[in-house]
Amino acid sequence: MKKIWQNYVTCGGGFHPESRHYRRAYLINAMLLAALANFGLFVLLNFLVFDLLAPGLLNLFAFIGSLGAAVYFRRSRNIVRGGFYTTVIIGMALVSYLYIEQHYQYSLFWLATFPPFAYFLNGLRRGSYAVLLVFLPVYLLLLTGLERWEPAPYNIVSLSNIVIASLALTALVYFYEKSRHEAVAKLRHSKEREAIEKERNRLLREMHDGLGAQLTTALYAAKGDHASVTELADYLQLALDDLRMMMDSLQTFDGDVATLLGQLRYRMERRLQSAGLELVWRVDDLPDFPGMTPQDALNLQRIVQEALVNVIKHAAATRVELSARMENLATLCICISDNGQGLHEAADSCGRGLNNLHHRATELKAELHLGSNPSGQGCRVTLQLPIRNLEQPKAERT
């Protein structure tokens, strides 16, 4: 039964559930089916039970029109015309019924089903036009028959109209809500699949640029005759650090930057000591940054790591200091400074590393400044990260 229903509402598979027109096609087919059932039922009631010729003929014509619209839409799959034709048939039937009966109360109850019907099938702009075109003649009919129209008699006919109109309105809202829930579920599934794909691409890029590059460097160094065991160990240590940071980026990040920096200190401190560097650690009690994503955290770690590695390799320093504080309520400032030979002497040998720093800072939408220490000795790397950039949804920052 479910397959038959899906075949019907998708016009034989012409509208895929992922298509942007699927929901409108679903509604048009469901409303046409409800109209056919409603008009067909009233044809039988008016001819066989109530013995009413004029309403019976009206419902027969409306039934034939709805059947024609259903066949047309199934063949053409034209969303705009299919919805318009369905709306016109229903609107003409309601106005004609009011004109034939020429009484108020329950006959007007049917008209209450038309506005949601018109909006669901045609959207806001076309739906508004349809409501205006139907209710304008309705108001004219009411105005011209204001004194001579009488209240509708409450008998089996009126009771049938009220019950069936209530069921029709219920079906209208039910199918709309059902299609809306399906659309929301499909959108959620699509977003989840897109997020997984983005995460997969991010990991592939990180493995290529980080771990892959370090292992490639270690491999070429091992094939050459000039690389020492210490240099190979350094390359492999960098690769291991990259792997660990990528593993950290897969975990849920709660925005605790102080802990994030502390993890990096734990991994880098032994290497700094082996290089003869004294590490001075000045990290304030930082607030949490809930808007920071795992990718942001990885970029931040890589910037600090790259700056420290550059000090080890190129600065010829004996002391390195890392400080992290809130520069103001909206900006996080992280500074790495050393007492080495300065930026100009080391720049030629660490050009690629500096490019990586700027690239990571750009991804964070942060400002990166490289220069000499105020004392004139050594180099200073300063990262200024506006918190408002971290609070934006990721889709807006990519």
The CATH number of whichever domain residue 324 belongs to comes to: 3.30.565.10
Entry field: residues in the chain: 398
pLDDT band, residue 248 (cuts 50/70/90): low
335 half-sphere exposure, CB direction, 13 A CA radius:
17
For residue 388, the model assigns a pLDDT of 65
For residue 389, the model assigns a pLDDT of 55
Domain limit, last residue, from 189, 218, 246: 189
Res. 396: pLDDT tops 50: no
Same domain, 142 and 263: no
β-pair partners for 320: 279, 338
Give the total number of structural domains in the chain.
2
Domain limit, last residue, from 139, 163, 189: 189
Res. 228: pLDDT tops 60: yes
The alpha carbon of residue 118 and the mean position of all alpha carbons in its chain are separated, in whole angstroms, by 28
Same domain, 174 and 261: no
Residue for token pair 């650690």: 281
Find all residues with CB under 8 Å of 29, minimum gap 6, and list them. Answer: 8, 9, 11, 70, 73, 74
Q: Range of 325's domain?
A: 256-397
Contact (Cβ atoms closer than 8 angstroms) between residue 280 and residue 318? no
Same domain, 185 and 260: no
347 half-sphere exposure, CB direction, 13 A CA radius:
10
Could you tell me which residue, 188 or 390, shows the higher pLDDT?
A: 188
Contact (Cβ atoms closer than 8 angstroms) between residue 59 and residue 39? yes
Sign of CA dihedral 240, 242, 245, 249: negative
Residue 251 within a domain: no
Strand ranges (E), 105-173: 150-151
Ranked by mean pLDDT, the top range of 91-105, 184-198, 316-330 is 316-330
CA angle in degrees (0–180, nearest 5) for 282-285-291:
115
For residue 337, the model assigns a pLDDT of 93
Q: Go through 367-378 and write b for each residue having 16 or more CB atoms within 10 A of its CB, e for each that does not.
A: ebeeeebeeeeb
For residue range 47-91, what is the model confidence (pLDDT) as tens digits? 998 888 998 999 999 999 999 999 999 999 999 999 999 999 989
Same domain, 158 and 275: no
Contact (Cβ atoms closer than 8 angstroms) between residue 83 and residue 122? yes
What's the longest Cα–Cα distance across the chain? 110
Tokens of 83: 């919805």
